[in-house]
Amino acid sequence: MTAVGIDAIEIRTGKLKLDLAETFAPQKGEDPEKYTKGIGLEQSSFPDVYEDIVTMGANAAKSLMDRKGLVPDDIGRIDVATESAFDNSKPVSTYIAGCLEQVYEGDFHHANKGERKFACLAGTQSIDDAYNWIRAGRNRGRAALVVATDTALYARGDPGEATQGAGAVAMLITEEPSVVELSTEQGYGSADETDFLKPNQQFPSVDGKRSVQVYLARMREALEDYESVAGDTHPDDFDYIPFHTPFPGMVRKAALLGYRHMTRGTDVEDALESEIGRQPREEAYDSWDDYEEAIRGYMDELKETEQYREWYERVIDPTINISSQIGNWYTGSVHIARLSALKTAAEEGKEMAGKRMLVGSYGSGAQAEIHAETVRDGWREEVTALDVDDQLARRYDLSYDEYELVHDVHNHDKEVDVEEFTHPDGEFVFTGWGRMNERK
Ligand code: HMG
């Protein structure tokens, strides 16, 4: 069977940044380490006043098309994944196509355009749609462009405010891809949940603590479902495990849960037996609550073991290097985690071709999806071509007052007129509602 997967990736960060330790923590009267160590974030990205989900998405897509030497005729499908859409009729992909048509010969008149929504999961679902379209033989040799783009803002004073972010990830999905091949096996954990909602509102209503538990429950179900088709997993099967990363502290919890699940009944559990005992078995407890408490106790000990710490540093830490500097990009977040792992591998001179990753995506509402990916020969060339570090280093460092202004600008409920902080530099910019985005 021909391999189908991700052939190229480009990102576009919002051009502003908020430093959580230096700028945010003092204003909130919090210990900076709550953010840098507890939540795990150093900085968040924000869009300048002329940036939005369309411009960030179009700029990422243009970089990708330029680097791969593509023209519109090469692309048969544009799917945008977002939970920050501002148009309840036209999909954001039409706006992005409109931008790209200003700069390329030809147009996207024969491309299928759509918009996917399932909170942060939609980026992965769009890749799935592209995968299925190619596998069904409907692509006529053309590639699919998937753009995950979001401005992830919370109301000021909401506990989620510390986890904000903004940016876009553009990905090209093709046959014989350069970066990763996707597995046909997938697992899902899905249930109607109300911990994170935006019904006709700009900022989410969030029960943050509960959202953490819902994430973990759906991720565990997805892992079990994945194993029911792919067979039992073992932590040594995967070089990296990129998870949806609303903030790195969340990934710490997901990784521990995954490790415990994957090591149950394995040589790892045997090796740890003398140190922390065997994992609690449900049948040994009278109630589910007692069993859960025993599991929590086991996990508290597990996370302190040398074995777990070494695994976490090797398999999980590399996936959060980028996200700790940008915050939550919602639909783009898990794709940033994958990129972060591969970028770190390239920097460390590690060979990844043929190696496997397990990817755990999640969206509130709520659904988790797990699949495996096999890294392809062209991964290093693709990943080292990106300018992630430059983009992050060039961001304008906001003062707290400036942050509040920018936050108001991107709150569509408010009319605010603010001068731009950076200058457009040959990029698509937002020029007003109902008008075409321009390139400046
Ligand atoms: P909070 O309640 O303000 O924080 O916000 P906290 O008090 O729970 O502290 C966070 C961590 O920092 C804790 O560690 C503290 O112990 C530690 P943990 O117990 O979790 O390991 N801490 C410190 N560490 C070192 N030094 C200190 C210190 N102080 C505290 N001085 C909350 C946390 C999750 C509620 C908040 O960030 C939030 O509401 N976030 C938004 C919702 C969210 O991201 N949920 C995640 C799961 S849902 C999801 O991922 C979907 C999402 O992306 C949306 C979508 O799908 O569309 C959000």
Of the candidates 244, 335, 371, 407, the residue annotated as catalytic is 244
| pLDDT above 90: residue 412 | no
Tell me, using a 6 A CB cutoff, whether residue 211 lines ligand 1: yes
Question: For residue range 290-338, what is the model confidence (pLDDT) as tens digits?
Answer: 999 999 999 999 999 999 999 999 999 999 999 999 999 999 999 999 9
The reported pTM is 0.97
pLDDT band per the 50, 70, 90 thresholds, residue 437: confident
Tell me, using a 6 A CB cutoff, whether residue 246 lines ligand 1: yes
- pLDDT at residue number 359: 98
Residue 267's region, left for phi above 0, alpha for psi from -120 to 50, else beta, is: alpha
Q: What is the CA radius of gyration of the chain?
A: 21
Tell me, using a 6 A CB cutoff, whether residue 20 lines ligand 1: no
Of the candidates 10, 42, 51, 83, the residue annotated as catalytic is 83
- pLDDT at residue number 431: 82
Instruction: For the chain, give the mean pLDDT.
Output: 96
| pLDDT above 90: residue 76 | yes
Tell me, using a 6 A CB cutoff, whether residue 34 lines ligand 1: yes
User: Is 120 in the active site?
Assistant: yes
Ligand 1 midpoint to CA 338 (Å): 22
Question: For residue range 338-366, what is the model confidence (pLDDT) as tens digits?
Answer: 999 999 999 999 999 999 999 999 999 99
Q: Could you tell me the fold of the domain covering 4-439? A: Peroxisomal Thiolase; Chain A, domain 1 (3.40.47)
- pLDDT at residue number 233: 98
- pLDDT at residue number 435: 60
Domain ranges for the chain: 4-439
Q: What mean pLDDT do residues 65-76 have?
A: 98
Ligand 1 midpoint to CA 39 (Å): 5
Show the beta-strand stretches assigned E in 53-176. 75-81, 112-116, 143-152, 165-175
Q: Which residue has the higher pLDDT, 414 or 422?
A: 422
Amino acid at the residue 194: T
- pLDDT at residue number 434: 61
| pLDDT above 80: residue 438 | no
| pLDDT above 90: residue 439 | no
Q: What mean pLDDT do residues 413-440 have?
A: 82
Tell me, using a 6 A CB cutoff, whether residue 16 lines ligand 1: no
Handedness of CA 413, 419, 425, 431 (dihedral sign): positive
- Chain-centre distance for alpha carbon 433: 28
**CB 178, CB 376: distance < 8 Å:** yes
What percentage of residues in the chain have a pLDDT greater than 90?
Answer: 94
Spatial separation of the C-alpha atoms in residues 149 and 12, rounded to whole Å: 9
Tell me, using a 6 A CB cutoff, whether residue 133 lines ligand 1: no
Residue 426's region, left for phi above 0, alpha for psi from -120 to 50, else beta, is: left
Ligand 1 midpoint to CA 166 (Å): 18
Q: What mean pLDDT do residues 415-425 have?
A: 89
Least confident window among 45-59, 230-244, 351-365, 411-425: 411-425
Ligand 1 midpoint to CA 249 (Å): 7
| pLDDT above 90: residue 413 | no
Tell me, using a 6 A CB cutoff, whether residue 197 lines ligand 1: no
Question: For residue range 119-141, what is the model confidence (pLDDT) as tens digits?
Answer: 999 999 999 999 999 999 999 99
Of the candidates 10, 42, 115, 120, the residue annotated as catalytic is 120
- pLDDT at residue number 436: 65
Ligand 1 midpoint to CA 171 (Å): 29
Phi, psi of 357 (to 5 degrees): -125, 150
- pLDDT at residue number 300: 97
Question: For residue range 162-183, what is the model confidence (pLDDT) as tens digits?
Answer: 999 999 999 999 999 999 999 9
